[in-house]
């Protein structure tokens, strides 16, 4: 069953790539993006709806991840920085 699913998925992806070529070539790009796939799926309302929903979910997830990363970096930057002498002294004490 797993082989069947993977072979069907590969077939569908090949069709998507081959049918999306005119869209990304017309835009003078070398990669296919979500808008190209949406253009390809525009004739099937259910497929377009599904792709749009998943695309929005992915965009939301990526946005949340960027916000978490930014918050973490801000928190790290808020920590007091030790003076170079204190850091050197700490390093000397730990080597003894």
Strand extents, DSSP E, 1-96:
none
pTM for the structure as a whole: 0.51
**Helix axis angle, 34-41 to 45-78, nearest 10°:** 160
Is 88 within the bounds of a domain? no
Q: State the average pLDDT over residues 54-66.
A: 92
Q: Scanning the structure block, which residue is given the tokens 């965009």?
A: 59
In a domain, 59, yes or no: yes
CATH number at residue 49: 1.10.20.10
**How many domains does the chain contain in total?**
1
Task: Report the C-alpha gap between 48 and 90 in whole angstroms.
Answer: 60
Residue 84 included in any domain: no
Asked, for residue 17, whether it belongs to a domain, the answer is yes
Cα angle 23, 25, 30 (rounded to 5 degrees) comes to: 110
| 93 found inside a domain | no
Mean pLDDT of 76-93: 63
> For residue range 3-33, what is the model confidence (pLDDT) as tens digits?
776 777 677 777 766 776 676 677 777 777 7
In this structure, is residue 63 part of a structural domain? yes
């Amino acid at each position: 069953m797993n082989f069947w699913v993977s072979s069907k998925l590969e077939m569908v992806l090949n069709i998507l790539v081959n049918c999306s070529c005119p869209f990304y070539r017309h835009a003078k790009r070398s990669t296919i993006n979500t808008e190209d796939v949406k253009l390809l799926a525009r004739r099937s309302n259910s497929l377009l709806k599904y792709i749009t929903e998943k695309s929005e979910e992915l965009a939301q997830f990526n946005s949340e991840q960027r916000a978490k990363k930014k918050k973490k970096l801000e928190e790290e930057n808020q920590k007091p920085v030790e003076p170079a002498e204190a850091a050197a002294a700490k390093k000397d004490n730990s080597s003894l």
